[in-house]
Amino acid sequence: MDSPVVLAAGLTACYAALALVAVLFARSRRTVSLTRRRPEVETSASALSKLTDGAVGAINRSLHGRQLRFITADKFEQAGLKIRAADFLLMCGAAFLVFGVLGFLLGGLVIAILLALFAPLVMFVWLNLKASRRQAKFAEQLPDTLQMLAGSMRAGHSLLRAVDGAAEESEAPMSEELRRVVNETRIGRDLVDSLLDTAGRMKSQDFLWVTQAIETQREVGGNLAELLQNVNETILDRAKLARQVKALSAEGKMSAIVLVALPIVMLVLISWLNPKYGSIFFTTFQGWIMLAVAAVLLGIGSVWLMRLIKPKY
């Protein structure tokens, strides 16, 4: 492990993976291609760019017509990321390589395997967490948006103009989603269909109710401003009830966290305070069996507690 050849190979792999991630981020943030801004200039792709494009193309071809098990097709739109699934998988592969090499150089094969598996897992968790936070913020902005829509409708504006005005006045992610609805409507898509897609993409039951109310008003007529105001009051009442449920279930959530984290914390403390005693779990076959059984029981207990502390209303 101290060989200069191994060290040089590890550093080369790390730098290559980091360069690959940098290229992917730089390419995903470019909104207008260089050939459109300067059509008279011929650009030549570097070898790294050609390699990246080839790898992304191969992944795209392998994912064509399929749904990923851990990543849905609209997960990146939910998270507000302008990257493709192939780019994300390529970045996961780069992280897998970097942390695997670092783990091998720092602690050997076992640490390398653990770090290599941990890095993509963290990226998947980060993606889902970012998507859930964006959806939660969208839900928080919905009552104010409905208030603006109702006010614009009372002022005599059309529904599309009211949505456009709300998109200009709101903050992200509401502004991004409403602007997307306006753009899709301007190119010929039905407004209700765009709103339904937004409700499904953001997983917002409240926004789905708003869309259904607009669709019903189109069919039977009526005062849309007053209808939106009534829906907004219902949404505010549900939000108030959700906060009350969250406060009442906070004690149960904290108890679940303590019960799940206590065995893990005790194992870490024992291994640190008495390494000879704690090493039994990691150096013997019986110790690995006990750790596996404990992991399975903790997993079952975590799922059970999550079901108990997640009330439906």
What per-residue confidence (pLDDT) applies to 112?
81
Tens-digit pLDDT profile for residues 54-71:
665 665 566 555 545 556
Mean pLDDT, range 268-286, rounded to an integer:
82
Q: Which of 181, 190, 228 is nearest to 209 (CA)?
A: 228
- Please state, for a pLDDT cut of 70, what percent of the chain lies above it: 76
List, in sequence order, every beta strand (DSSP E) within the chain: none
**Residue corresponding to tokens 């596996």:** 292
Sequence spans of domains, the chain: 4-30+45-134, 135-246, 249-308
Q: How confident is the model at residue 308 (pLDDT cuts 50, 70, 90)?
A: confident
Tens-digit pLDDT profile for residues 221-276:
778 888 888 888 988 888 888 888 888 788 888 888 888 888 888 888 888 888 88
What per-residue confidence (pLDDT) applies to 195?
92
What per-residue confidence (pLDDT) applies to 32?
47
What per-residue confidence (pLDDT) applies to 302?
84
What per-residue confidence (pLDDT) applies to 180?
92
For the domain made up of 135-246, give the CATH fold: Receptor-associated Protein (1.20.81)
Q: How far is CA 312 from CA 152, 173, 246, 282, in A?
A: 35, 26, 11, 42
Mean pLDDT, range 126-141, rounded to an integer:
91
What per-residue confidence (pLDDT) applies to 35?
47
What per-residue confidence (pLDDT) applies to 257?
86
| Residue 206: pLDDT over 70 | yes
| Residue 29: pLDDT over 70 | no
Write down the mean pLDDT value for the chain: 79
Coil, strand or helix: which one is 158? Answer: coil
What per-residue confidence (pLDDT) applies to 53?
61
Question: DSSP label at 70?
Answer: S
Phi-psi region of 138 (alpha: psi -120 to 50; beta: other; left: phi over 0): alpha
Mean pLDDT, range 32-40, rounded to an integer:
47
Tens-digit pLDDT profile for residues 114-126:
888 888 889 988 9
| Residue 14: pLDDT over 70 | no
